[in-house]
Amino acid sequence: MADTGERAGRLERLLDPSSSALVTCECQNGVLGPQAVFPDLAAAAGKAGLVGRVRELVTAARAAGVPVLHCTAVRRPDGLGANGNARLFAAAARVAAQPGAALTPGSEAAALHPGIGADPDRDLVVPRLHGLGPFQDTGLASILRNLGARTLVCVGVSVNVALLELTFGAVDAGFQVVLARDAVAGTPPEYAEAVLANTLALVASVTDTATVADRWSAAGDPAGRGRGIEGATRRG
């Protein structure tokens, strides 16, 4: 296995702002907020401080010129276009009947969580009506390629399903994936940790928020200096 220095060098290259994109997954009011579709998941994300760490990465990405994309899940009131072939979809349909909880397009529940610092004028929002995650048949791959991205830094929820699909889909499509382990969540938390260690670490580079933010902050520093990395260049 590569030693620590080799791994750090590889990660620094992967996080080059000129070929990176930050992708948030289901960081919405109805997923992370007080009226969450799945309260246990929202509680796990809250305990982990996920919203604040996503905001830190969003801020660092913008400062370095890294594109920010928000992948959201929505469901029409009539369920048109939504899957119904798994227990997860049936549970989502039941929750959708509760006032204020449905991820209806344009609703407060479907909106991005205000704590992550989304900027509608600069960020891209990629919604989906169907599927387990944001990669398959959503156009996300084409958007990322048009942005020149080769490495995706993926954050959000959940390690159980959507973030898993996002990671696998991105790797299948030829992208490199970096996961900030303290900016993702799943339930129960010990299961999410096991998935990160035993599954996602086999296909993605697992690091933390501070490492990614430092790399991008170095690129955004006019003097080319960051807290942890020197000599990085601006996104060109």
Question: What pLDDT sits at residue 229?
Answer: 33
Question: What pLDDT sits at residue 117?
Answer: 95
Question: What pLDDT sits at residue 35?
Answer: 85
Task: Tell me whether residue 95 is in a domain.
Answer: yes
Confidence check: pLDDT of 225 > 90: no
Question: What pLDDT sits at residue 98?
Answer: 72
Task: Tell me whether residue 174 is in a domain.
Answer: yes
The arithmetic mean of pLDDT across residues 145-158, rounded, is 98
Task: Tell me whether residue 230 is in a domain.
Answer: no
CA neighbours within 13 Å on the CB side: how many for 226? 22
Task: Tell me whether residue 77 is in a domain.
Answer: yes
d(C-alpha 47, C-alpha 143), whole Å: 33
Confidence check: pLDDT of 227 > 70: no
Give residues with Cβ within 8 angstroms of 110, minimum separation 6: 28, 29, 30, 72, 73, 74, 103, 104, 127
Confidence check: pLDDT of 100 > 70: no
d(C-alpha 219, C-alpha 25), whole Å: 24
CATH number, domain with residue 202: 3.40.50.850
Query: In the block, which residue shows the tokens 């909880």?
Result: 101
Confidence check: pLDDT of 33 > 70: yes
Confidence check: pLDDT of 2 > 70: no
The arithmetic mean of pLDDT across residues 118-127, rounded, is 94
The arithmetic mean of pLDDT across residues 2-27, rounded, is 92
Domain with 65, as residue range(s), is 4-220
- What percent of the chain is modeled with pLDDT above 90? 79
Question: What pLDDT sits at residue 142?
Answer: 98
How many domains is the chain partitioned into structurally?
A: 1
Task: Tell me whether residue 215 is in a domain.
Answer: yes
Task: Tell me whether residue 225 is in a domain.
Answer: no
Confidence check: pLDDT of 221 > 70: no
Task: Tell me whether residue 113 is in a domain.
Answer: yes
Nearest to 187 by CA among 232, 157, 214: 157
Lowest-confidence range among 102-111, 159-168, 223-232? Answer: 223-232
Task: Tell me whether residue 190 is in a domain.
Answer: yes
* Cα separations in angstroms, 233 against 10, 12, 27, 65: 16, 12, 30, 11
